[in-house]
Amino acid sequence: MKIVATELKPCVQRQADPDWKFARGTVPALHGWTLALTDEAGTVGLGYVHAIPTITTHGEGAKAAADYLTPRLIGCDPAAVNEIMDDVDAALAGNTSVKAAIDMALHDLLARRLGVPLHVLFGGKRRDTIPQGRIVPIKSPADMAAIARGLVGGGYKMVKVKLSGEIELDIERVAAVRQAIEAKTILTVDPNQTYSAKSFIRSFSRFEKHDVALVEQPVPAADWKGLALLTRTLPVSVEADESAGSLADVARLVNDGVADVINIKVTKLGGLRNTLAAVKICEAGGVVCRMGAAFGPALLQACSAHVAVTFRKLELPCELSEHLHLHDDPFTPAAVDNGVMRVPQGNGCGVTLA
């Protein structure tokens, strides 16, 4: 069955908190796109084009790339995912979030055609549920403490505190959040590249008493030596996020021992195939990996969940619940109950356009 039609629809989602902020900017709304691929039998596969300017691309740029690439899909058999994606990669450099949407839609279409859940294409699930962590955006220490308290009250076992690189204020934020949450709650911090390696080492000596379990990407993405220094020096796990911007990056991070943990995202790596490959590289190299937060609708979280349930080990909570603070989701829910996501049931990714 060949693909006979492609359709790109705007997917604009407002934040419940329009002042939601991290170190790289405020994100009042997401201006992404939904990609639908239809085959000769009328089966539809869905993908999501992630478009946050400070992370992947902006809305119109994403649309231009999608408009350029999607005509190449007409007449293709989605069963030939590898061949199709090789052609897409050769046709246009970069644009990983657009390619990720094409890859998602191809896999979803194929799984729906076969009448199986998406994870079956990946070798099958090893678990039904995925523990979730949640993010505390940058605000005053008191406001961040209140947000964290509410998240823990909702059953989440891990909270991640966004930091800004303002040392004294960041220390107050971590202290306030730890005081507000249960001692057993996993506390992680994410400065989003705002520190140098040595300045973060100095700062961490003051964070440490608050039982921080993991530090995510404190240094600039290109500062691999700094990230490796932190991994060797700090007594807690150090996670690469922005430094893991490609499959080649993941392989190098693992091979060179640059980080203890790697943050995996479908949108960042250009699709489900590359994400699964990244997981296997981490597992082979003895490096922990987890599905990180990629803001977007239930569709994106569902596709990511189908990858997460195939992990050999799930040593840390994933971050596939951030869609819950977004309005205007055009898809059926990817539900989270008491801090745990159950892999969506049904054919394909398990969610459809509502």
pLDDT single digits (tens) 127-143: 999 999 999 999 999 99
Are 86 and 156 contained in the same domain? Answer: no
Q: Which of 186, 126, 139, 135 is nearest to 160 (CA)?
A: 135
Number of domains in the chain: 2
Note whether 58 and 145 are same-domain residues. no
**Could you tell me the residue range of the domain that residue 30 belongs to?**
3-115
Which residue reads 């994606």 in tokens?
85
State the pLDDT at residue 86.
Answer: 97
User: Does some domain include residue 348?
Assistant: no
Q: What percent of the chain has pLDDT over 90?
A: 98
Distant-in-sequence, close-in-space partners of 280: CB < 8 Å, separation ≥ 6: none
Q: What pTM, to 2 d.p., does this model score?
A: 0.96
Mean pLDDT of 155-159: 97
Shared domain for 266 and 303, answered yes or no, is yes
Asked which of 86, 115, 144 is the last residue of a domain, the reply is 115
191 and 336: one domain?
Answer: yes
Query: Is residue 160 left, alpha or beta, with left meaning phi > 0 and alpha meaning psi from -120 to 50?
Result: beta
Q: Is residue 25 assigned to a domain?
A: yes
Instruction: Judge whether 350 lies within some domain.
Output: no
Shared domain check, 165 and 30: no
Q: Are residues 95 and 179 in the same domain?
A: no
**pLDDT at residue 224 in the model:** 97
Which pLDDT band holds residue 1 (cuts at 50, 70, 90)?
confident
Mark which of 115, 147, 165 sits at the end of a domain. Answer: 115
Say whether both 324 and 181 belong to one domain. Answer: yes
What angle in degrees, to the nearest 10, is found between the helix axes of 247-255 and 272-285? 0
Q: Do both 93 and 184 map to the same domain?
A: no
Do 81 and 97 belong together in one domain?
yes
In a domain, 349, yes or no: no
Please write the tens of the pLDDT for every residue from 28-54: 999 999 999 999 999 999 999 999 999
Whether 167 and 293 map to the same domain: the answer is yes
CATH number of the domain encompassing residue 149: 3.20.20.120
Task: Say what the pLDDT of residue 225 is.
Answer: 98
Same domain, 309 and 178: yes
| pLDDT level of residue 229 (50, 70, 90 thresholds) | very high
Domain identity same for 151 and 105:
no
Picking from 115, 143, 162, the residue at the C-terminal end of a domain is 115
What pLDDT, in 10s, does the model give residues 66-103? 999 999 999 999 999 999 999 999 999 999 999 999 99
Averaged pLDDT for residues 155-178: 97
- Domain contains 172: yes
In SS3 terms, 217-280 reads as: CCCCCCCHHHHHHHHHHCCCEEEECCCCCCHHHHHHHHHCCCCCEEEECHHHHCCHHHHHHHHH
* CATH number of 46's domain: 3.30.390.10
